[in-house]
């Protein structure tokens, strides 16, 4: 088998190309860098996901705490007012059947709740299921509206809660009935 000069050069060139291709395929020095970069990108994404997730959880727990504080502030307003029976005396205190009990210095307001007591003159008789007879008592119906906010100073958005409590005052009568 004899080769001409052109065929020999072509054959030699093919052999060199095959050798270069094999050398490039066998050379793995750059693949380690690519794998390392991919791993760094994966770890960075996992870290960023963890940061965003924990930030969201912190905000969520702060909102929950704020709404819980607001509820307890509103509820404490109701409890402070119900503890003082003088808040439910009709003459003189109520204007248009409403009364702000924290205008009286006998009612402390540690949680700064906004409270209004509303007298309901249209409702008569004993409350259902109370077991009381309407013959010996006069029943005065009230609704306490109490609004409270969370007490945190750092929160830009304040949580607000409103609690309404219905109250019936039993007033003994001498005549044996009211109204």
User: Do residues 178 and 171 make contact, with C-beta atoms less than 8 angstroms apart?
Assistant: yes
Name, of 27-36, 40-49, 99-108, 136-145, the range with top average pLDDT. Answer: 40-49
Dihedrals φ, ψ of 173, to 5°? -115, 150
* 158-173: pLDDT as tens digits: 888 999 999 888 888 7
Residue labelled with tokens 């906004």: 114
The yes-or-no verdict on residue 81 having pLDDT over 80 is yes
Structural domain contains residue 2: no
Between strands 98-99 and 137-149, the pairing is unpaired
* 11-41: pLDDT as tens digits: 778 888 888 777 766 666 677 888 999 999 9
Note the pTM of the prediction, 2 decimals. Answer: 0.62
Structural domain contains residue 155: yes
Structural domain contains residue 21: no
Q: How far is CA 54 from CA 27, 66, 157, 178, in A?
A: 43, 18, 20, 62
Structural domain contains residue 6: no
Structural domain contains residue 23: no
Alpha carbons 75 and 96: distance in angstroms, whole number: 24
The structural domain count of the chain equals 1
User: Do residues 163 and 78 make contact, with C-beta atoms less than 8 angstroms apart?
Assistant: yes
Other Cβ atoms closer than 10 A to 71? 17
Structural domain contains residue 24: no
Alpha carbons 67 and 53: distance in angstroms, whole number: 21
Give the chain's largest Cα–Cα span: 140
Structural domain contains residue 117: yes
The yes-or-no verdict on residue 178 having pLDDT over 60 is no
Domain that holds residue 156: 31-172
Structural domain contains residue 104: yes
Q: Report the run of H or E that residue 160 belongs to, with start and end.
A: strand 160-172
């Amino acid at each position: 088998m004899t080769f001409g000069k052109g065929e020999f050069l072509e054959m030699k060139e093919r052999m060199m190309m095959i050798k270069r291709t094999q050398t490039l395929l066998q050379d793995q020095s750059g693949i380690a860098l690519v794998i390392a970069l991919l791993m760094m990108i994966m770890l960075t994404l996992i870290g960023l996901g963890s940061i965003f997730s924990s930030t969201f959880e912190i905000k969520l727990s702060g909102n929950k705490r704020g709404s819980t504080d607001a509820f307890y502030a509103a509820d404490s307003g109701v409890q402070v007012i119900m503890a003082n029976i003088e808040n439910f005396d009709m003459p003189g205190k109520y204007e248009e059947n409403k009364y702000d009990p924290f205008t009286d210095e006998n009612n402390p307001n540690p949680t700064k709740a906004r409270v209004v007591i509303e007298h309901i003159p249209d409702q008569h008789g004993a409350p259902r299921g109370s077991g009381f007879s309407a013959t010996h008592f006069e029943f005065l119906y009230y609704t306490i509206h109490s609004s409270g906010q969370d007490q945190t100073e750092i929160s830009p958005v304040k949580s607000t809660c409103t609690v309404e409590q219905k109250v019936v005052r039993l007033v003994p009568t001498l005549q044996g009935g009211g109204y």
